[in-house]
């Protein structure tokens, strides 16, 4: 065997160096390159923030650490035992000792299996808990963002952050970290055991390591590229799907199903190809490592067998059959973790990228933060004043220019003007849905920036232009989580706004199911429900952005009637598209391109024969034509 000595020594040294290289490469080289996404945060910072989430479970992790030790011990000790057993069988067959060893082996095996099971259970629980806390934090944070900030982040992206990205992070806690640590210890442990057992054979094994390094380096390059491509294609198909499913009615109306299907097929095929490429990369890497494994086993049997049969004594070591058997097992226990490390570092990398994306969302400062000296509004009389208010969604593109007006308590004020003139914008400024740039808005004489936003919104009932219903029931949509309200009170509110007519006709009444966005109800019904929702929350000021959508005459009469009733509750600000609504207002403010051009009562404005007059005449003609048409149909 000494013929091979120099060769083995050189191989061994190269092998040792390359083990160090693999680890260094995996840890350092990749730090800066993320997967399909530019990383800005330092790994240290990400780890620190992740630790904060994991901290409450430190005890559990320590416990798992002990369990992992058992697993490592099993990996290191079991080949020794088997080797010893082999030697016993070969020798004079000491049955008793054999039984003892087999029993010990079985014992360790069972203990290690139980440990693996307990470890998986504990880690799953902890990992899922950590991630649900993170998901809740993320959701709470998203809820604190202002309308303006929400407009700038695509909803699909937020959904991905809350679901996919947190999942990638949970994988890290449930398996990645523990296995990474375990694998490293197993490599070290197995290596030490091999050296202790037979350094010659260990050197032989190390000769193969440079090849593993080479394969790993190449594999990681290809794997990352394949992974990025799969991720890009997945995002692609998701974006396409979410947009086209929302717009599927338009697709059907315009008979564009074939074209859309073709686009979709292209994207689907692209994703399929990316996945196949990814599998190919793994499909090449794993067999290659397996090839190395088989080669080293062959070498082991050749060299070891020759050494044993010839009874070679080298540096005082004689080879036993048991040693060869032990080595046979050690080789696989040495190769497996190395191969896994390469793959696990990839996953860890993507988990870090996900964590960074999640933290990036969490780092967006909510724009609307209550001033430290902000006050709580107990009661609101309902006086509203705009003083020289300027506002723009996009810097320097003024949407409201020097808007000033005054609303006394219990007054009803209507806003009129062409589409895009800034009516909705004015209403959303009052409740601080957006932050204005110049001027002042006062509620009961108090600057709204000095009022806690939550307490401000409590006193305002906002009925938006497009009514949004959540999936749930009629009841849950009216209450929106409000507690201590009886069904009788809900129905009373519904009667008040005339929503009882259609609710009574529903099979399940208040329990009738509302589907996503309320698409099983008509526009008019949705509007009435939003009125009921507002009334039940008893606001001091009501803000209504009337929908422009056409509503059947019957519902329109109901809406009109409930509007007139609501005007008596308190202050009401209303963007009305129907003249009948406007006429009842105490004051009408006419807007043009973000400026107030005239205001006064219906009568006064008509007499003035200005902008309002022409708007009115236009609408009057239109409504008369509509009425005539309806009579004709009837
Ligand atoms: N989120 C936004 N980001 C940027 N610009 C916006 C945004 N919302 C509205 N605008 C712009 O502000 C202007 C005023 O819009 P606003 O919604 O207040 O009009 P409106 O008077 O309510 O119109 P309509 O009668 O059609 O509801 C429009 O020119 C619009 O393009
Ligand atoms: Mg509007």
Ligand number nearest CA of 391 is: 1
Nearest-angstrom CA–CA distance, 87 and 92? 9
State pLDDT tens for residues 402-418. Answer: 999 999 998 999 998 88
Within its chain, how far is the Cα of 87 from the centroid? 57
- What tokens appear for 569 in the block? 């509750």
Q: Select from 456, 441, 432 the least CA-distant residue to 146.
A: 432
b/e map 357-391, b = 16+ CB within 10 Å: bbbebeeeeeebebeeebeebeebbbbbbbeebeb
The protein residue whose alpha carbon is closest to atom 18 in ligand 1 is 422
Greater model confidence, 67 or 524: 67
How confident is residue 114, by pLDDT bands cut at 50, 70 and 90? very high
**Does position 340 have pLDDT exceeding 90, yes or no?**
no
Q: Is 419 in the pocket of ligand 1 (CB under 6 A)?
A: yes
Quick check: helix, strand or coil at residue 402? strand
Cα Rg, the chain, nearest whole Å: 37
The protein residue whose alpha carbon is closest to atom 3 in ligand 1 is 393
Q: Check: CB of residue 145 under 8 Å from CB of residue 321.
A: no
**Does position 13 have pLDDT exceeding 80, yes or no?**
no
Q: Is 555 in the pocket of ligand 1 (CB under 6 A)?
A: no
Q: Is 420 in the pocket of ligand 1 (CB under 6 A)?
A: yes
pLDDT, position 26: 63
Ligand number nearest CA of 393 is: 1
Q: Is 422 in the pocket of ligand 1 (CB under 6 A)?
A: yes
Q: Is 150 in the pocket of ligand 1 (CB under 6 A)?
A: no
State pLDDT tens for residues 351-370. Answer: 888 888 889 889 888 877 78
The protein residue whose alpha carbon is closest to atom 30 in ligand 1 is 420
State pLDDT tens for residues 244-296. Answer: 887 888 888 888 889 999 999 999 999 999 999 989 988 888 888 888 888 88
pLDDT, position 36: 46
E strands, 367-411, are 384-392, 398-407
**Does position 230 have pLDDT exceeding 60, yes or no?**
yes
Q: Is 323 in the pocket of ligand 1 (CB under 6 A)?
A: no
pLDDT, position 152: 79
Place of tokens 């491509």: 229
Q: Which of 115-119, 198-202, 615-619 has the highest mean pLDDT?
A: 115-119
State pLDDT tens for residues 420-474. Answer: 899 989 998 998 888 899 999 999 989 998 888 888 888 888 888 778 888 899 8
**Does position 29 have pLDDT exceeding 60, yes or no?**
no
Q: Is 393 in the pocket of ligand 1 (CB under 6 A)?
A: yes
Ligand number nearest CA of 148 is: 1
Ligand number nearest CA of 590 is: 1
- For a mutational test of ligand 1's pocket, the pick from 148, 398, 425, 619, i.e. the residue with the most ligand atoms closer than 8 A to its C-beta, is 425
Ligand number nearest CA of 423 is: 1
Q: Is 151 in the pocket of ligand 1 (CB under 6 A)?
A: yes
**Does position 33 have pLDDT exceeding 50, yes or no?**
no
Q: Is 117 in the pocket of ligand 1 (CB under 6 A)?
A: no
The protein residue whose alpha carbon is closest to atom 17 in ligand 1 is 424
Q: 425 C-alpha to center of ligand 1: Å? A: 6
Burial classification of residue 37, based on how many CB atoms lie within 10 Å of its CB (0-12 exposed, 13-18 middle, 19 or more buried):
middle
Quick check: helix, strand or coil at residue 393? coil
pLDDT, position 399: 92
pLDDT, position 589: 92
**Does position 514 have pLDDT exceeding 50, yes or no?**
yes
Residues 6+ apart with CB under 8 A from 190: 75, 76, 330, 333, 334, 337
How confident is residue 387, by pLDDT bands cut at 50, 70 and 90? very high
Q: 468 C-alpha to center of ligand 2: Å? A: 15
Q: 501 C-alpha to center of ligand 2: Å? A: 28
**Does position 575 have pLDDT exceeding 60, yes or no?**
yes
The protein residue whose alpha carbon is closest to atom 16 in ligand 1 is 422
Q: 47 C-alpha to center of ligand 2: Å? A: 46
pLDDT, position 59: 93
pLDDT, position 315: 57
- The average pLDDT across 605-633 equals 82
Burial classification of residue 298, based on how many CB atoms lie within 10 Å of its CB (0-12 exposed, 13-18 middle, 19 or more buried):
exposed
Query: Which is the closest atom of ligand 1 to the Cα of 417?
Result: 21
Which range is least confidently modeled, 105-109, 517-521, 595-599, 602-606? Answer: 517-521
β-pairing, 595-600 vs 587-592, is antiparallel
Averaged pLDDT of the chain: 84
Q: 423 C-alpha to center of ligand 1: Å? A: 8
Burial classification of residue 543, based on how many CB atoms lie within 10 Å of its CB (0-12 exposed, 13-18 middle, 19 or more buried):
buried
The protein residue whose alpha carbon is closest to atom 6 in ligand 1 is 393
Q: 464 C-alpha to center of ligand 1: Å? A: 13
Query: Which is the closest atom of ligand 1 to the Cα of 422?
Result: 18
How confident is residue 35, by pLDDT bands cut at 50, 70 and 90? very low
Q: Is 421 in the pocket of ligand 1 (CB under 6 A)?
A: yes
Greater model confidence, 218 or 92: 218
β-pairing, 513-514 vs 472-473, is antiparallel
pLDDT, position 3: 58
Q: 420 C-alpha to center of ligand 1: Å? A: 5
**Does position 1 have pLDDT exceeding 50, yes or no?**
no
pLDDT, position 9: 67
The protein residue whose alpha carbon is closest to atom 26 in ligand 1 is 419
Q: Which domains does the chain have, with CATH numbers?
A: 2-362 (1.20.1560.10), 384-633 (3.40.50.300)
Q: Is 424 in the pocket of ligand 1 (CB under 6 A)?
A: yes
How confident is residue 91, by pLDDT bands cut at 50, 70 and 90? low
pLDDT, position 31: 47
Ligand number nearest CA of 426 is: 1
Query: Which is the closest atom of ligand 1 to the Cα of 425?
Result: 18
């Amino acid at each position: 065997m000494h013929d091979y000595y120099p060769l083995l020594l050189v191989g061994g040294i190269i092998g040792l160096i390359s083990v160090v290289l693999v680890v260094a490469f995996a840890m350092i080289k990749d730090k800066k390159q993320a997967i399909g996404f530019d990383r800005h945060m330092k790994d240290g910072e990400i780890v620190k923030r992740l630790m904060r989430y994991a901290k409450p479970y430190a005890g559990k992790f320590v416990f798992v650490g002990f369990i992992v030790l058992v697993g490592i011990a099993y990996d290191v000790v079991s080949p020794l035992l088997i080797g010893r057993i082999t030697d016993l069988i070969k020798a004079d067959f000491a049955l008793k000792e054999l039984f003892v060893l087999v029993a010990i082996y079985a014992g360790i095996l069972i203990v290690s299996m139980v440990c693996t099971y307990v470890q998986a259970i504990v880690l799953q629980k902890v990992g899922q808990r950590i991630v649900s806390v993170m998901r809740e934090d993320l959701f709470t944070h998203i809820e604190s963002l202002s309308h303006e900030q929400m407009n700038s982040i695509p909803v699909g992206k937020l959904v991905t952050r809350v679901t996919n990205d947190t999942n990638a992070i949970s994988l890290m806690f449930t398996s990645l970290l523990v296995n990474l640590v375990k694998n490293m210890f197993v490599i070290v442990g197995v290596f030490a055991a091999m050296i202790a057992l037979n350094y010659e054979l260990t050197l032989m094994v190390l000769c193969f390591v440079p090849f593993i390094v080479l394969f790993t380096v190449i594999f990681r390059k290809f794997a990352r590229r394949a992974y990025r491509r799969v991720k890009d294609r997945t995002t692609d198909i998701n974006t396409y799907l979410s947009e086209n499913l929302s717009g599927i009615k338009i697709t059907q109306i315009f008979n564009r199903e074939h074209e859309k299907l073709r686009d979709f097929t292209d994207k689907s095929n692209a994703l399929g190809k990316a996945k196949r490429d990814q599998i190919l990369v793994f499909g090449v890497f794993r067999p290659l490592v397996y090839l190395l494994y088989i080669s080293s086993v062959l070498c082991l049997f050749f060299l070891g067998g020759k050494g044993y049969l010839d009874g070679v004594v080298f540096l005082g070591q004689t080879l036993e059959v048991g040693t060869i058997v032990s080595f046979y097992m050690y080789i696989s226990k040495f190769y497996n973790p190395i191969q896994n490390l390469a793959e696990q570092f990839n996953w860890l990398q993507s988990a870090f990228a996900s964590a960074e994306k999640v933290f990036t969302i969490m780092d967006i400062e909510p724009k609307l933060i209550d001033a430290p000296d902000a006050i709580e509004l107990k009661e609101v009389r309902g006086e509203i004043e705009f003083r020289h208010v300027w506002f723009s969604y996009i810097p320097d593109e003024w949407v409201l220019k020097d808007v000033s007006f005054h609303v006394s308590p219990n007054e009803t004020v209507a806003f009129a003007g062409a589409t895009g003139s800034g009516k909705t914008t004015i209403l959303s400024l009052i409740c601080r849905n957006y932050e204005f740039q110049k001027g002042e808005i006062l509620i009961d004489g108090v600057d709204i920036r000095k009022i806690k936003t939550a307490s401000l919104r409590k006193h305002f009932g906002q009925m938006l232009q497009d009514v949004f219903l959540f999936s749930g029931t009629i009841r849950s949509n009216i209450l929106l989580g409000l507690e201590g309200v009886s069904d009788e009170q809900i129905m009373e509110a519904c009667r008040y706004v005339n929503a009882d007519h259609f609710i009574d006709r529903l099979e399940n009444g208040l329990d009738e199911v509302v589907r996503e966005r309320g698409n099983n109800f008509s526009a008019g019904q949705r509007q009435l429900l939003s009125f009921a929702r507002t009334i039940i929350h008893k606001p001091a000021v009501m803000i209504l952005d009337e929908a422009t959508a056409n509503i059947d005459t019957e519902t329109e009469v109901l809406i009109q009637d409930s509007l007139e009733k609501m005007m008596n509750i308190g202050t009401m600000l209303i963007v009305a598209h129907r003249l009948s609504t406007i006429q009842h207002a105490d004051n009408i403010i006419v807007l043009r391109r973000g400026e107030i051009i005239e205001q006064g009562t219906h009568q006064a404005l008509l007499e003035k024969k200005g902008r309002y007059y022409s708007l009115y005449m236009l609408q009057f003609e239109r409504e008369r034509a509509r009425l005539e048409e309806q009579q004709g149909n009837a």
